Amino acid sequence: MGAVYVGVHEHSGEKVAVKLIATHVADEPRFRRRFNSEVETLKRLRHPGIVRLIGYGEEDGQLFYSMELVEGESLQQRIRRQKRIHWQAAIDIAIEICGALKHAHDFGVIHRDLKPANLILSTSGEVKLVDFGIAKLFGFGEQTLAGSILGTADYMAPEQADSSGVSVRTDLYALGSVLYAMLTGRPPFPGKRTTEVIEALRRDRPVPLELIDSELPEALCELVHQLLEKDPADRPPTALSVMNRLKAMRAGLLRQQTLPDHSMPTAHAVPGRDQPAAKPTGESTEKTDAGGHDTTGLSVNPMSNERPPSDEIRTADLGNPLVSENAKPQYPATVASQNTVVSDPPTNADDVAETPAEPVSRPTHFQSVDNESQQTSGRSAAETPTEHWKQAVSISLMTAVLIAGVILFFKAAEQPTADELYQVIAEHSEAENAGEARLEMDQFIKRFPNDPRYETVNHLRQSIDLQRLLRRLSVQAKLDISPLSAAEQGFLDAMKGRQQDPVGASSRLTQ
């Protein structure tokens, strides 16, 4: 599909990633039209969690675009190294991903190939999404071009496997798959062959997270499995709603940990899974600045890193600057503007013999996204003399929102009273969804053991735990993941038969 190089700006010395599009793909007229359309869309994506598009152009008829160069490791490398990522770190990463997805979805851009290999964890602790819209450009769109390669099926949504229409909920399914992989060390439907994965994707349900790791918070497990629903209508509607649920979940679980005495069982850290990531070795990339890109040339040199895992898109191959198996290798060149001399690649006798007598003139141009944005913003400022008034109103609104946020924060930090907690518990019990008040029950039991309503709340909490245990044993027996012990099987049978034969069930439980 192409090759990625480290490009060095001739004047500023700034390093960027330059992706060259393979000639046999770029020569397709329909691809060129889609390339220009996709670049115009990607130019609008300006978010800290999205790898920034810096410029794009054409050198001697070969299309290319340059991107921000990020120093770090991919989430896929982190998962392979740590096996499982602690749920607190997984929630933090997912929140950052949701912020980037929300920004892109607001502009009508769907990633279509969200997976750990396309998520970069920078050395400064940021999460960066790469290849936005590139999946559509290289085959997930209206047609598949010759030589294109689809993304890995491990994180594909069912509607993509069925060639149905994609939506923002397609990215949310992939987000659920990424969360599942972080928490378990593998995708929801692992398989050696793509056909096996796609068939399981259409037919099967993933193994419940609570059966793989009983220490995971139940609320997190429920959210992940909701994201992995087959029907897009059953998934959360937007990335913003998922981000808000994750933030509320994180705040509630952290509040549990800050209560007196000891933390709740689900909040225990798991040794070896919440260790800070070691700084990756063998990478020589440098983080780029966001400003001031001139339209002069970029000195380009092939990168010499390790080859990516086999399930990554071939265009992300940084180790070999070959465009394809049948194409000629790309030599270090200088991507230049009209005022810059372009260096010629090395030639040999065979190349000279193959050179046509009359050279063909091919188009060459380069456009920096930053410079283009600066020109546009300069025209906008001249056309809107009341811009300073709008900025003042915007600052006032942001100040009001900030003050409201501070007030809400202090209110959320206040410890609720016994009456307030019991009122929430009673409301959920009357609505027959007492399970949603587990956090309030735990706080009531922990903080108010001498309250006369303690036994009522404690009994209700034990009932919820019993129902959860029965549900887990039933799923374990149905899926035949691991055989139940004799005691577990007897307990499950007795509880199932208590409505038909309560006396017999009681006697079996007392044996």
What is the CA 288 to chain-centroid distance, rounded?
22
Q: Which helix (H) or strand (E) holds 245?
A: helix 239-258
**Three-state DSSP class for residue 445:** helix
Q: 10 Å Cβ neighbour count for 8?
A: 18
Q: What tokens appear for 132 in the block?
A: 């936005």
CB 53 within 8 A of CB 42: yes
Asked if 189 and 198 touch (Cβ cutoff 8 Å), the reply is no
Q: Are 109 and 41 in contact (CB under 8 A)?
A: yes
Q: pLDDT at position 499, please?
A: 65
DSSP state of 339: T
The reported pLDDT for the residue numbered 148 is 36
* 99 Rama class: left (phi>0) / alpha (psi -120 to 50) / beta: alpha
Average pLDDT of adjacent 10-residue blocks, the chain of 511 residues: 78 84 74 73 85 83 83 92 94 96 91 91 90 55 38 81 85 96 94 86 91 93 95 95 96 82 44 43 40 41 42 38 38 37 41 48 62 51 62 89 87 81 85 78 90 91 85 80 79 75 71 65
Domains 2-69+286-349+361-378 and 72-267 share a fold: no
**CA distance linking residue 257 with residue 263, whole number of Å:** 5
- Structure tokens given for 6: 């480290």
Residue type, 302: P
72-267: CATH architecture: Orthogonal Bundle (1.10)
* Domain ranges (residues) in the chain: 2-69+286-349+361-378, 72-267, 418-480
Catalytic positions: 113
Q: How many other C-beta atoms lie within 10 A of the C-beta of residue 36?
A: 11
Query: What architecture is the 2-69+286-349+361-378 domain classified under in CATH?
Result: 2-Layer Sandwich (3.30)
CA distances from 164 to 167, 231, 237 (A): 10, 12, 18
Question: What is d(CA 19, CA 457) in angstroms, rounded to the nearest whole number?
Answer: 61
**Sole residue written with tokens 């000279």:** 352
pLDDT at 151: 47
In this prediction the pTM is 0.53
Q: Any bridge partners for residue 335, and if so which?
A: 298
Q: H-type helices in 344-413, by residue range?
A: 349-354, 369-383, 387-413
